[in-house]
């Protein structure tokens, strides 16, 4: 779809993604054990936020979000770290909610080119894992 310069660009269809992340990855360059969270459509995509939910009892760790340029994520130069946050230890309970986790809400929407991807990782092994959800739409 051709886009007129300086025109308002609105998502044409919702696009969201997410998978549980629980395996340790100490790399800061997007290589190693990462989980594919989101892929932009044929005309690109707009991402409004990434929310995190603990899936149960976990030790403290760090979550990292990487932008990939639609190329092999095993090559460090194809990735860049765009956000990281501390994940507190959580304990599953049937009488109390799990601790709230941080959200990535960019000051302006994150615009991705066609095929670009977002990957996530955690710094230490966490038993139950964390579920990142990417909220946005394809252009």
Q: What percent of the chain has pLDDT over 70?
A: 94
So what's the pLDDT on residue 108?
Answer: 87
36, part of any domain: yes
Domain of 17 in residue numbering reads as 13-132
Give yes or no for residue 135 having a pLDDT over 60.
Answer: yes
For every residue of the chain, DSSP letters joined together read: ----TT-----SEEEEE---B-SB---SSS-SS-EEEEE-BTTBEEEEEEEEEE-S-B--EEEEEEEE-SS-TTSGGGEEEEEEEEEPPB---SSSPPPP--EE--SSPEEE-TT-EEEEEESS--SS-EEEEEEEEE-
Whether 34 maps to a domain, the answer reads yes
pLDDT of residue 25: 96
CATH code assigned at 67: 2.60.120
Mean residue pLDDT across the chain: 91
Residue 103 forms part of a structural domain: yes
Q: What are 9-40's pLDDT values in tens digits? A: 677 887 878 889 999 999 999 999 999 999 99
Provide the number of structural domains found in the chain. Answer: 1
Residue 1 lies in a domain: no
Per the DSSP assignment, residues forming a β-bridge with 46 are 111, 137
Cα–Cα dist 65/34, whole Å: 9
* pLDDT for residue 134 is more than 60: yes
Q: Is the pLDDT of residue 84 over 70?
A: yes
Q: Is the residue at 73 inside a domain?
A: yes
Long-range pairs for 3-11: beta carbons < 8 A, 24 or more residues apart: 3/43, 3/139, 9/46, 9/139, 10/137, 10/139, 11/45, 11/46, 11/136, 11/137, 11/138, 11/139
Within a domain: residue 22? Answer: yes
Query: In this structure, is residue 3 part of a structural domain?
Result: no
Nearest to 126 by CA among 64, 72, 60, 80: 60
Q: Is residue 4 part of a domain?
A: no
């Amino acid at each position: 779809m051709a886009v007129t310069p300086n025109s308002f660009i609105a998502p044409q269809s919702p696009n969201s993604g997410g998978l549980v992340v629980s395996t340790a990855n100490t790399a800061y360059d997007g290589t190693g054990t990462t989980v594919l969270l989101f892929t932009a459509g044929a005309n690109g995509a707009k991402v409004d936020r990434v929310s995190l939910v603990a899936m149960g009892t976990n030790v403290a760790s760090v979550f990292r979000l990487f932008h990939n340029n639609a190329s092999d994520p095993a090559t460090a130069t194809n990735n860049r770290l765009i956000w990281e946050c501390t994940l507190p230890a959580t304990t599953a309970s049937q009488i109390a909610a799990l601790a709230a986790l941080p959200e990535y809400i960019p000051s302006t929407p994150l615009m991705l080119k066609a095929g670009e991807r977002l990957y996530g990782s955690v710094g230490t092994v966490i038993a139950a894992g964390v579920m990142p959800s990417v909220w946005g739409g394809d252009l």
